[in-house]
Structure formats: structure tokens, C-alpha cells
A = this chain, B = another copy of it.
Amino acid sequence: MERKITKTVIIGGVKVGGGESVKIQSMCTCKTSDTVRCSAQINALANAGCDIVRVSVLDEDDAAAIKILKASCSVPLVADIHFSHKLAVAAIESGCDKVRINPGNIGGENQIKIVADCIKAHKIPVRVGANTGSLEKSFADRYGKSAQALVESAMQNVRIFEKNGVGDIVVAVKSSNVQLTYEAYTRLSQICGYPLHIGVTEAGTRQNAIVKSGAALGALLLNGIGDTLRISITGDPVEEVYAAKQLLRAVGLDKNFAEVISCPTCGRCRWNVMSLAAKVNERVKDVKKPLKIAVMGCVVNGPGEAEDCDLGIAGSKEYCVLFRKGEIIKRVSAENAEEEFFKELNGILNE
């Protein structure tokens, strides 16, 4: 897959765009001014692998809290602001690393200019875009709630900041509809050179959100589109980070992990693949180097799949076979298989 190369934008030291690794984002669910809870949540997100955290700024207390949060957290913070240019300025002066703003709802041209000047003075980027939930009436009337409407609205917001001399921009076109998301970002990537923040908005509760985001963002990433992403889940935001990591690994954009392939088992399977697969997944979940491990129920695809695996196991009627890089290294009885497999696996992990 060839990635679309966009402009590199730096968010609190973290590079987004320009072919850099795709950065994972999430958002705090607690009130930003509740700095004790908020800082705990930001650090939990960072520990889970979140690269950039967004917080909402509703009032002056929230804006002031950013300074405190920055002191207790090491991950870049993005301030999400609606309806007030004063809060945008306050959040920037408080030290946020990026602002997410909708120029259509923070007042008129003068207010936008004030925010733009503040952004330039503090050398931070801005995220703009469009969302089917807050699409301007003019675009909705002209194009319907379509991919074109989202793209035109987003690009108008880009031009407003460009006109005010802001050049570090991240762009998003959000919808809760998977097809619309895929179509809008595909169009946007053809005409926009800024890094794209991809996501399906209001994707719902966990599994539904993972399926929706997996389909839309997976399709985009497989076509080289997307510089930073959020998998939006109604639930604990740490789950968003886990799912985002899994997606980047699934599409080949993060290779530093232990991939466990395991068959779904069928009537051919005579030993407990599910139990071993679950244990192997648990054992390797924190591994940060590229490894491939296969847990296969039978010999139909087992040895073939195990060929390029660092370690593989395939069962048959009487015994299981352990493989390393296509070579059979051991035949073991089904009852000893798990112990022998973990002996080999631990050896590989300690190499």
C-alpha cells in the first residue's frame, strides 16, 4: 500500500502527516476542570498507547485546567472548543498543543482573526473540518448531507484559516455513516494536502463501533488515506486506544507486535485450540517486536500457515507438531502440547 503523503504538522512534539506513523487519538470523558480525574484518564490513555488526547473546553475553568494537566501529563493535549473565541484564546494561552475549532460557530470574521493570530503566536496547529451533525445549512441545502457537502464545508473552513495566515492545519470530515465517511475522506484526500484526522463519529457502543470504524477507517488506511485516527466508542476511552492499535496492526501500519493467527476450528479439530489461542494472546499482548505465531487446529492449513511463523503449532489425531520458520522442531502428545509450546514461546520472547 502506498500512503498519500500530506504536510507534516507537529502537535506538541508528535509528528502527524508526511508519511509519519499514523497517530492514535482519544478524548477524555470527564470534565476538564476536574483535573484529578482528568489527569488520571489522560495518563491511562497514554499508557494504553494513545499519542494525542483531546479535552473539551466549556468554560474558563476548563481552559485554565489545561495548564495543570500539561504539568502532570506528557502526552500532547488538544482543546475542543465550540461557540466561543475567548475560550479558544484562553485554552491556547493555557498551553494546549492544538485546537479543534469550528470557525462557523465562534462568531464572525473578527473573532476568527483573533483566534488565528493567537494560534500563530503560539505556533500550534488547528483542526478544522465538517460533521454531518453540524453541517452548515448552505452546504446541506446545495448538496444534501453528502460526501461533497462535507468536503466543501471542510475546505471552506481550511481556507478561512489559510486566509488568516495559519498553515498548520489538520482536517476531518465526520459522519456516523460508514459509506459517507469512506467517500468523503476519499474525495478530501484528492484535493487536500493537509494531514487527515479520520474517524466515524457517534459510532455507538463497543463492538458496533469497532465494526463501523474497522470498515470505514480500515478501507481508508488500506488505500493509504489517514494520518491520525480516533475510534469513537460510547464507553471507556481506553477501549478506543486498544481498538485503534489493533486496527493499525491489522492493516500493516504497525508491525512491532506479536501477531497471533489462530483458526476458527472445525470438525477436523481434536484438541483445544481456543483455550491455547486465548492463553497465547494473553502471554504476548505486551510484546513490542515483530513476531508471528500460529495456533492451528489441523494439518489442512496448519503447516502452510506456520511456514513464515516464528512459532507454530498444528494438531492431528494423535499428536501435535511444533514449527519454527517452516521446520518441524518437535512432535508432542496432545496433552503435553501446551507446556512444550510455552517452553518454546518463552525462549523466543527472551531472545
Q: Report the separation of the CA atoms of residues A25 and B273 in the bound assembly, to the nearest whole angstrom.
A: 21
Mark out the residues of chain A between 183 and 241 whose CB falls within 8 Å of any chain B CB in the assembled complex: 201-205, 207-208, 210-219, 221-223, 232-235, 237, 240
Q: Given known contacts A264-B240, A281-B205, is B212 in contact with A250 (CB within 8 Å)?
A: yes
Give chain B nearest CB distance to A98 CB in angstroms.
16
**A264, B251: Cβ atoms closer than 8 Å:** no
Complex Cα gap A219–B7 (Å): 25
From B54, B201, B205, B303, give the contact of A301 (CB < 8 A): B201
A89 part of interface (Cβ distance < 8 Å): no
Inter-chain contact A262/B204, CB cutoff 8 Å: yes
- Least Cβ–Cβ distance between A205 and chain B, in angstroms: 6
In the complex, A70 has a CB within 8 A of chain B:
no
A329 at the binding interface (Cβ < 8 Å): no
Interface residues of A in 246-282 (CB under 8 A from B): 246-247, 250-252, 260-269, 273-274, 277-278, 281
CA distance A135 to B221 in the complex (A): 27
Q: Return chain B residues, CB-CB under 8 Å to A133.
A: 296, 300-305
A261–B222 contact, CB under 8 A? no
- Contact between chains at A300 and B82 (CB < 8 Å): yes
A64 touches B (CB below 8 Å): no
Contact B207 A267, beta carbon cutoff 8 Å = no
Q: Which residues of B contact A58 (CB under 8 A)?
A: 267-268
Known contacts: A214-B215, A267-B55, A301-B201. The answer to whether A182 contacts B222 by CB under 8 A is yes
* With contact pairs A82-B300, A267-B31, A267-B56 given, residues A202 and B294 touching in the complex (Cβ less than 8 Å): yes
B214 adjacent to A210 (CB under 8 Å): yes
From A30, A56, A250, residue with most partner B Cβ within 10 Å = A250
A178 interface residue per 8 A CB criterion:
yes
Q: How many copies does the complex hold?
A: 2
Q: Please, which residues of chain B bring their CB within 8 A of the CB of A168?
A: none
Whether, in the assembled complex, A179 has its beta carbon less than 8 Å from a beta carbon of chain B, the answer is yes
Whole-angstrom distance between the Cβ of A189 and the nearest chain B Cβ? 15
The smallest beta-carbon distance between A157 and chain B, in angstroms, is 15
Contacts of A43 in B (CB 8 A): none
Cα of A56 to Cα of B269 in the assembled complex, Å: 10
Is A97 on the interface with B (CB-CB < 8 A)?
no
Whether the Cβ atoms of A296 and B202 lie closer than 8 Å is: yes
Q: Which of B214, B252, B302 contacts A214 (CB 8 A)?
A: B214
Q: Mark A19-63, 1 if CB is under 8 A from B, else 0.
A: 000000001111110000010000000000000001111100010
Q: Which residues of B contact A38 (CB under 8 A)?
A: 267
Q: Does A145 contact B (CB under 8 A)?
A: yes
